[in-house]
Amino acid sequence: MLELILQQRYRANGIPVDISPYRNHGTGVDAPKALGPAPDHDVVQFPNPTSRIKIGLGTQKAWSPLVALKIEVLARVNPIAARTLTLVAGDGSFRFRIMETALEASFEGPPGDGAYIRSDSSYSPDHQFHAVPANRWTTLGFYHDGFAKMRLQIDGVVVGETPVSGAVPGVKSGGVCVGNSVMGAEPLLGEIDEVRIWRAYPRGVDQEFLCRPFDKATAQCWEALFRTVRDWVKRDPVEAQALMNLLSARQRLVTRTLLLLPVDELSRIRAILREYRRLWCAGQIDGSQMRNVLRQWLAALRRHGLDPVADPHRAEIEALRQRANIDPRLLTLDCDPEAGLFLSLLEQIQEEVK
């Protein structure tokens, strides 16, 4: 799940105003306005080494964490104007640019992590070199799903794709630059009409959980559990971090493995997850339909070597949970019987699906 964190249109006197909820407005530096692709569209030019639009980190923490990253830039550029032409860059985080006429992107990751992609024969699905079109308005796109794949697009056509394991780190204190690198000296030497940037929605898991109907008493019940967790984090931050690291590593392993599956198999798994979400959000979490969905889900995990029962860290996770004195089963049995039945159903299915 992605959320929009930047949408700058330079259609009113080239002013870099962000219309996303985060209001990441920019400051133009040596970046004059010009007429754009329509009579009412002003655009911004980046003609000089210092030309850029600078965007600070702001106060709403939109740029950290990122994890996943999607960028779309509507630009007109001459790809042979210079060796390197920068579209967007984030300090210590990511770079999206044109290099020797090809579209390319990279992000900061561990050495050897393969945090790079380019629209040439090494990465393109058709094994051809794809140059950025010259002197016409073109939508240039980059997408990193946060777990498994990166891709590049020119006018909606995939021109580069590669597997990846690392996530995109948050932007550091230098902020984000449009039309130039963070350090300067790599101006676009072209024009931009619009920039849109998305990140992984950091509250996506919470939103999925809370879509289920709750009455007041049940909500208070879960609030008590969340307070218990918060108290434990404050009381023992080292163990709390260890547990979060283990759970995060497990989530990344499962998600990345599934996202790298063939398209047909991935489509089947996504259909299972859609049906699960529909039932969960409707409050139908302990009936025959949910049983069937959970059986399909567990079978799919085991089919791809992701059996949760065989998780090598399962005993360590359970030990940390017990030391934290967090027992969701007692809580759910006391004041959320449906959730208690759901947990029992899940345990039964783990025994049934071998």
**Whole-angstrom distance, CA of residue 42 vs CA of residue 34:** 6
pLDDT for the residue numbered 331: 57
Q: Which two tokens stand for residue 212?
A: 């289920």
pLDDT tens, residue by residue, 94-149: 999 999 999 999 999 766 566 999 999 999 999 999 999 999 999 999 999 999 99
Strands (E), the chain: 2-9, 17-18, 27-29, 33-35, 42-45, 52-55, 69-76, 84-90, 94-99, 102-107, 116-118, 138-144, 149-154, 157-163, 176-178, 191-200
How confident is the model over 289-341, as pLDDT tens digits?
A: 999 999 999 999 999 998 877 777 777 777 776 666 666 565 566 678 888 88
What is the per-residue pLDDT across 160-182, written as a single tens digit (0 to 9) for each? 999 998 899 999 999 999 999 99
Contact 93, 168 (CB under 8 A): yes
Burial class (CB in 10 A: 0-12, 13-18, 19+), 178: buried
What does each C-alpha distance from 340 to 241, 296, 317, 327, 349 come to in angstroms?
A: 27, 21, 20, 11, 14
Residue 235 has φ and ψ, to the nearest 5°, of -75, -35
Q: How many CB atoms are located within 10 Å of the residue 11 CB? A: 18
DSSP three-state, residue 320 = helix
Q: What structural domains and CATH numbers belong to the chain?
A: 2-200 (2.60.120.200), 204-352 (no CATH)
Task: Report CA Rg, the chain.
Answer: 24
Angle between helices 263-281 and 288-303 (to 10 degrees): 150
336: nearest Cα among 220, 253, 247, 187: 220
Residue 212 forms beta bridges with which residues?
none
pLDDT digits (tens, 9 = 90+) for 67-86: 999 999 999 999 999 999 99
3-class DSSP state for residue 152? strand
DSSP 168: B
Copy the structure tokens of residue 21.
Answer: 């909820």
Per-residue pLDDT, 21: 93
Place of tokens 């998305």: 198
What is the per-residue pLDDT for 325? 65
Output the pTM of the full model.
0.88
Crossing angle for the helix pair 337-352 and 288-303, to the nearest 10 degrees: 40
Name the phi and psi angles at 148, rounded to 5.
Answer: -135, -30
